[in-house]
Chains A and B, each alone.
Chain A
Amino acid sequence: MNVPDDLYYSTEHEWVRVEDGLFRVGITDYAQDALGDVVFVQVPEVGAELQAGGSFGEVESTKSVSELYAPVQGVVVEVNADLEATPELVNTDPYGAGWVVLLQPVDLRSVETLLGPEAYRDLTGA
């Protein structure tokens, strides 16, 4: 499984990329592989306030539904509109075109509560 070195990870298998004070969030390669073919992603509204660990959406595959959990506290400033028509981007490019939301974090340092790539590799046996 691909675990890029420049990202932070949650134990619920989301990744966070720090971009100019904002956090881009998606699900990991490990998570998309476990889910199988993704057919629907429910994303929050722009402006939604997410609590760390709170559910903010769902990813549905041909075999199951899985909740999305906010890795940190923040406000949604953008959602990936491409997922409405092409949710399979979560499978084909989980760390790129398959991103889910862009957050304005309440605290930039909240990423330090997350796992680094080494710890996430240990978690997933990757």
Chain B
Amino acid sequence: MRHSPLDAVHRSLGARMVPFGGWEMPVAYPSGTLEEHRACRSAAVVFDVSHLGTVRVAGAGATDALQRTLTNDLGKVAPGRAQYTHLLDPDDASVVDDIIVWWLAEDLFDVMPNASNTDGVVGALGAGGGGGPEVRDTTGERAVLAVQGPEARARLAAVAPDAAAVGRFRVASFEFAGLPCTVAGTGYTGEDGVECAVPVAVAEEFWRAVTAEGVVPAGLGARDTLRLEAGLPLHGHELGPGITTLNAGLGWVVGWDKGPFRGRDALAAQRDAGVTPVLRGFRAEGRRPPRDGATVRRGGAAVGTVSSGNFSPTLGCGIALAFVDPSVAEGDAVVIDVRGTELPATCVPTPFV
């Protein structure tokens, strides 16, 4: 089990630690998931997301390597920008990982996979063999802190004004305690905010400086309820084996016109044949949380399966993402089978809030 550079800080705060993607990370601090969730919607929180991977891709050919390996088209953006993209299985276009690419400079990228997929992403990007760009896992060299919420930038400005000023989906460098750091205007909560990669040596100092500005520590529990309300996919639930980018309704991350990329042929075949099932949002009546694996029925017939479900602290009711038959449309009344109890729900647009 790997540990974050901030592990001791989390333990000193009384966090409950859980295994996640091969790392032991905080699921909640003593204030609890609901309070952390509300703090992110109303003020500002900080998540330690050091378990995300960082793969440095550097040198001649780096841009080409990303273009032919990942789905999205870097031609739509430029150095200094962040882009959400997918790595597909070459044979069936299943989403092997969903990734944020930080385009730092010409032929210099930090590719940020999910924790447990980092080795696979290193392998895919380095598959060109000799003469290609350098592909190196730098996860162990930095901590990543996500500062999120409507007050995130204002609070962070007192610690790192250059970091607080980064634009949405922009990437910039900033200095903290005399060391170079990287910031991106990205997140996973549906709120404004930034994600900062800081060297391990100053990670704890950065965390303390941010929390001293009243930014509330938040754990993986709140991260999950926040991303679900925002309708954002989680790998292993909305993305993974047997699920393509198109099943998940994320066709906008596919650069169809950029030339060949890994998995393109299989994805194009699915696009041409018709995509089923498709991901939809559902709002349940009452507080009971639908859970992943629950069957969705319409008019007595099974039409799909919940991929993620929970209680929405903002709405005060259960919400779910589910893969369903494409005929299921917004406004349709369904029931979700929660261990034998039929929970009435309605197909709704996402994000939920």
Contact = CB atoms under 8 A, between A and B. Distances in A.
> B287, B318, B339, B341 — which one has the most chain A CB atoms within 10 A of its CB?
B287
B310 interface: yes
Interface string B1-44: 00000000000000010000000000110001110000000000
A91 B32 contact: yes
Interface size class of B (residues with CB under 8 A): 10 to 19
Given A36-B16, A36-B27, A36-B28, A62 B288 contact: no
A33 to B, nearest CB: 8
A39 B32 contact: no
A87 interface: yes
B289 A60 contact: yes
B311 A62 contact: yes
Given A62-B33, A62-B311, A39 B287 contact: yes
B225 interface: yes
A40 B27 contact: no
Contact of A88 (B34, B224, B291): B34
Contacts of B310: 62
Nearest to B37: A62
Contact of B221 (A36, A40, A65, A91): A36
Contact of B34 (A42, A58, A62, A65): A62
A39 B289 contact: yes
Interface in B274-306: 286-289, 291
Nearest to A39: B311
A63 B291 CA distance: 10
A40 B289 contact: yes
A37 interface: yes
A53 B33 CA distance: 30
Interface string A52-72: 000000101111010000000
Interface in A69-103: 87-88, 91
Contacts of A42: 288, 341
A87 B287 contact: yes
Nearest to A88: B34
Contact of A63 (B221, B286, B287, B318): B221
B37 to A, nearest CB: 8
Contact of A62 (B221, B286, B339, B341): B221
In the complex, the 7 A-B pairs of residues with the closest C-beta atoms, listed nearest first: A39-B311, A62-B33, A37-B34, A40-B287, A37-B32, A40-B288, A37-B33
5 contacts: A36-B221, A37-B33, A40-B286, A40-B318, A62-B225
Interface of A: 36-37, 39-40, 42, 58, 60-63, 65, 87-88, 91
Given A36-B27, A91-B32, 19 more contacts: A36-B33, A36-B221, A37-B28, A37-B32, A37-B33, A37-B221, A40-B289, A40-B311, A40-B318, A60-B288, A61-B33, A62-B33, A62-B34, A62-B225, A62-B310, A62-B311, A63-B33, A65-B339, A88-B34
